[in-house]
Amino acid sequence: MNILSNLLTVQYDAALKSIVIENPAERAAETGFLPLVQIREETFAAMSFDECAEFLGSRLMLLMPAMREFYKEELERRRRS
């Protein structure tokens, strides 16, 4: 299964003390399910609100095929530099 998706869930998991990004289709399959991204408290605690928002937003964008396609030229330029 392709882990990238235009439909993602983002939540704070109190048990993990982490922000987690999940693909709902992967969650439904429940075959060794792990979140796509887990941002632990020690990571975001060292960031300002704006830094954390930018960090989280960029990860979301990269997990969404539609956004990758929309920004493909810019992403390619960044890869080359």
Residue 51 lies in a domain: yes
Domain span at 35: 9-80
| Helical (H) or strand (E) element with 61 | helix 49-63
Calpha distance 20→57 (Å, rounded): 13
Quote the pTM value: 0.80
- pLDDT exceeding 90 applies to what percent of the chain? 74
Residue type at 78 in one-letter notation: R
Residue 52 lies in a domain: yes
Residue 53 lies in a domain: yes
Query: What's residue 3's pLDDT?
Result: 79
Residue 55 lies in a domain: yes
Residue 4 lies in a domain: no
Residue 27 lies in a domain: yes
Residue 2 lies in a domain: no
Query: What's residue 31's pLDDT?
Result: 63
Residue 13 lies in a domain: yes
Q: How many domains does the chain have?
A: 1
Span 8-44, pLDDT tens digits: 999 999 999 999 999 888 766 666 667 889 999 999 9
